[in-house]
Chains A and B, each alone.
Chain A
Amino acid sequence: MYKIQNIRSGRRRPLLYAMTICALAPAGALGQHIHGVIELGVVVEGSTVAVSLDAPLSDVVGFEHAPESDEQLERIRQAATMLSNPDAMFGLADSAECAISDTSIDGPAYVLEHLGDDDAGAELSDHDHHDEHEESAAHDHHDEHEESAAHDHDDEHDEPAAHDHHDEHEESADHDHHDEHEESADHDHDGHEESADHEHDDAEQHSEVNANYQWECRSASDLDSLALRFTESFAGVETIEIQILTSAGAQVLTVEGRAKSVSLSRP
């Protein structure tokens, strides 16, 4: 199945490596939807620390649809409040003297609308929505209203071409050929049947929350770990896949969902 190019540069080169690749699921890329798995990206560059978190909504609040009861609404509210408060999500060493410089949160509209519920988050929420518009403009969505923009973000793992709702079934038919990840291919089918019925309904769709935080630190060299405070409140997180990029290079690690902190220095 895997043909190794018979050219000088590739000949007999780590055959083992080439062979293992075919057994590979496309792991690691942000934007996949696997229940129970949170993806965390951490960049430390100079005095700036940027953290990007991707989580299936079900792992954050326990369900993946617009709130249907007061209890669910309350949980969405709590999650939104927490997401918009970087200190509740992450902790950086005091000695590093870090101050939050940017926060942006993306997700289903029914989550985003609660970002402003908290007084402290009111301004923040405006900022977020602004960001989101910018991004969705670049995405070249043909929908105008905000709700549908959020909807597009919901099924993030979709084949982007499949967003085009004109020929949905055709797209999803050859979708399987593109996608190596069987599970997500299955999910897509569900998604499409659903969206064929009611295009802009969030119900039963995979919903993701994506949060980006950025800090400016006076002494970033003091940062040897990042406290994961959100793990106490997020329901259903099994593992956290973490990618850390520092001046020392890249690190990839997987920690359990209850982990309290992650080391930023090389092992």
Chain B
Amino acid sequence: MLHNIGNALSLVFKSLLNRRATAILTVASIAVSAGLLSIVDRVRTDTQTSFANTIAGTDLIVGARSGDLNLLLYSVFRIGNPTNNVTWNSYETIGDRPEVDWTIPFSLGDAHRGYRVLGTDLGYFSHYRYADRRSLAFDKGGPFTSATEAVIGAEVAERLGYDIGRQIVVSHGLADTSFLTHDEDPFTISGILARTGTPVDRTVHISLGGMDLIHTAGGADREVPPVAGYEPEEITAFLIGLKSRTAIFALQRFVNEFEAEPMTAVIPGVALQQLWGLVRVAEYALLGVSAMVVLASVLGLLSTLLVSLNERRREMSVLRSVGARPGHIFALLLSEAAILAFLGALSGLLLVQLGILAIRQFALSEFGIQLSVQLRAFDLYVLTGILGIAVLVSIVPAWRAYRNSLADGLTVRL
């Protein structure tokens, strides 16, 4: 039996080899469609994971009154419109609430060679969490100990080739090459953070005092503000960790109704859910289009098989003459379709894997999206789905071949 199947398969392969040009084209079109479907879903889920992984363990993000998403995206992901500042006074008032465990101030707005500069305090290195509540680790060195020191993310160090002790200059504004560079205010790199796969990797961290230093008029005789206990007038936003999450809605309400200053408190997970809710339509549209492409490629397979039937009448007759029953002919065509679909889907998925390996670094550094390389359940669905549809539609040509093989004698009039 097994021997028979092996024989039959080799027969299919040899037959396909005889028509390799169309076979390869069919496989290629299925490969492209399978790859497309796989990559669309992968980018979709990996984007969501990457965003969700960026902020963990933070209960609320507080900034000036603005849209929830705007505040979240600007403060944490550094995308979108800058939000207004909040006063240090409000920050302290809210940070002193009994239900608050810790706060991390964020001061944004400057850049170093295209990388965002974040003014913060030492609490950042101990309280900030990403992915599964992992805390930031130092690859080299340690936190800044003075206002003229900086801690850089893994990617900043790698791309710009920086090491501990190197002096860097922070420019006012965000442009890659701002003419307003503060040459007189060099920062010394005191530490390099281990890679996180989040925007932290692309950030230069300085103290709040350091942030003010680059905004005040230069001069060698200036006082260098201390790292601990320095109070700027304003910050961009701050993160809050609560002692117990049960207080989260009450504190959010307190912040949103804060009398002294209009502010917004955002629950990161909730805001991200809202974001996915918004883009869901677009995501499904893309998935739908990709699924249609798969369908089109399988229909292409169907039409190739149908067209081939006529020119293969003699082939079928020969098979019949050496003992193949009509059922065998039917199975032959089904397995031919299955093999083409399987090879197509498989090579499509492999192409995606190779493609991801090739663009992975780029996606991470340019878009902050960590693409996964392992095969996922969805890929399996794509594979079996395409296989199933291909076998299903190939019943049509298989049935016709079956009918033909019953009617035709060995001497087919072509």
Assembly CA distance A234 to B192 (angstroms)? 57
Contact residue among A3, A43, A48, A251 (Cβ-Cβ distance under 8 Å from B273): A251
Contact residue among A16, A160, A249 (Cβ-Cβ distance under 8 Å from B282): A16
Q: Does A145 contact B (CB under 8 A)?
A: no
Chain B residues within an 8 Å CB radius of A6 = 174-176
Q: Once the chains bind, are B67 and A30 in contact (CB under 8 Å)?
A: no
Contact residue among B67, B202, B250, B270 (Cβ-Cβ distance under 8 Å from A26): B67
Q: Once the chains bind, are A160 and B248 in contact (CB under 8 Å)?
A: no
Assembly CA distance A104 to B407 (angstroms)? 85
Q: Which of B76-84, B219-227, B340-348 lies at the binding interface?
A: B76-84
Please give the number of chain B residues whose Cβ is less than 8 angstroms from any Cβ of chain A in the complex: 63
Nearest CB of A to B78, in Å: 5
Nearest CB of B to A44, in Å: 9
Q: Once the chains bind, are A4 and B79 in contact (CB under 8 Å)?
A: yes
B 95-126 binary contact with A (CB < 8 Å = 1; else 0):
00100000000000001001110000000000
A 1-42 binary contact with B (CB < 8 Å = 1; else 0):
011111111111110111011001111111100000000010
Q: Once the chains bind, are A161 and B273 in contact (CB under 8 Å)?
A: no
B 341-359 binary contact with A (CB < 8 Å = 1; else 0):
0000000000000000000
Assembly CA distance A139 to B199 (angstroms)? 35
Nearest CB of A to B82, in Å: 8
Chain B residues within an 8 Å CB radius of A164 = 259
Q: Once the chains bind, are A29 and B266 in contact (CB under 8 Å)?
A: yes
Q: Once the chains bind, are A245 and B274 in contact (CB under 8 Å)?
A: no
Q: Once the chains bind, are A250 and B267 in contact (CB under 8 Å)?
A: yes
Given contacts A2-B80, A161-B259, A163-B259, contact A13 B245 (CB under 8 A): no
Q: Once the chains bind, are A160 and B249 in contact (CB under 8 Å)?
A: no
Q: Does B395 contact A (CB under 8 A)?
A: no
In B230-274, the 8 Å CB interface with A consists of: 244-250, 252-254, 256-262, 264-274
Nearest CB of B to A90, in Å: 15
Q: Once the chains bind, are A5 and B278 in contact (CB under 8 Å)?
A: no
Q: Once the chains bind, are B65 and A245 in contact (CB under 8 Å)?
A: no
Q: Once the chains bind, are A48 and B246 in contact (CB under 8 Å)?
A: yes
Assembly CA distance A50 to B258 (angstroms)? 22
Assembly CA distance A212 to B99 (angstroms)? 15
Q: Once the chains bind, are B262 and A161 in contact (CB under 8 Å)?
A: yes
Residue of A at shortest CB range from B273?
A252
Chain B residues within an 8 Å CB radius of A178 = 65, 262
Contact residue among B82, B267, B277 (Cβ-Cβ distance under 8 Å from A245): B267
Contact residue among B70, B202, B268, B270 (Cβ-Cβ distance under 8 Å from A8): B202
Given contacts A180-B67, A249-B52, contact A135 B254 (CB under 8 A): yes
Sorting the interface of chain A by its residue count into under 10, 10 to 19, 20 to 34 or 35 or more gives: 35 or more
Assembly CA distance A251 to B80 (angstroms)? 24
Residue of B at shortest CB range from A163?
B259
B 69-94 binary contact with A (CB < 8 Å = 1; else 0):
11001000111111000000000000
Contact residue among B247, B274, B366 (Cβ-Cβ distance under 8 Å from A12): B366
Q: Does A159 contact B (CB under 8 A)?
A: yes
Contact residue among A5, A26, A141, A245 (Cβ-Cβ distance under 8 Å from B78): A5
Q: Once the chains bind, are B366 and A8 in contact (CB under 8 Å)?
A: yes
Q: Does A214 contact B (CB under 8 A)?
A: yes
Chain A residues within an 8 Å CB radius of B254 = 135, 138-139
Contact residue among A4, A24, A250 (Cβ-Cβ distance under 8 Å from B67): A24
Given contacts A29-B256, A43-B248, contact A4 B80 (CB under 8 A): yes
Q: Once the chains bind, are B264 and A7 in contact (CB under 8 Å)?
A: no
Nearest CB of B to A43, in Å: 5
Q: Once the chains bind, are B68 and A26 in contact (CB under 8 Å)?
A: yes
Q: Once the chains bind, are A9 and B199 in contact (CB under 8 Å)?
A: yes
Nearest CB of B to A247, in Å: 9
Q: Does B275 contact A (CB under 8 A)?
A: yes
Contact residue among A45, A212, A243 (Cβ-Cβ distance under 8 Å from B250): A212
Given contacts A24-B69, A160-B262, contact A29 B78 (CB under 8 A): no
Chain B residues within an 8 Å CB radius of A31 = 252-253, 256-257
Given contacts A24-B67, A210-B253, A214-B246, contact A18 B73 (CB under 8 A): yes
Contact residue among B199, B262, B265, B278 (Cβ-Cβ distance under 8 Å from A20): B278
Q: Once the chains bind, are B249 and A41 in contact (CB under 8 Å)?
A: yes
Nearest CB of A to B159, in Å: 9
8 residue pairs, one from A and one from B, having the closest CB atoms: A250-B269, A50-B246, A41-B249, A52-B249, A252-B273, A8-B114, A160-B259, A31-B256
5 contacts between A and B (CB under 8 A): A10-B77, A13-B79, A21-B69, A30-B256, A43-B248
Given A17-B278, A29-B252, A250-B272, 9 more pairs with CB closer than 8 A: A4-B79, A4-B80, A7-B114, A13-B79, A14-B47, A21-B80, A164-B259, A245-B267, A252-B270
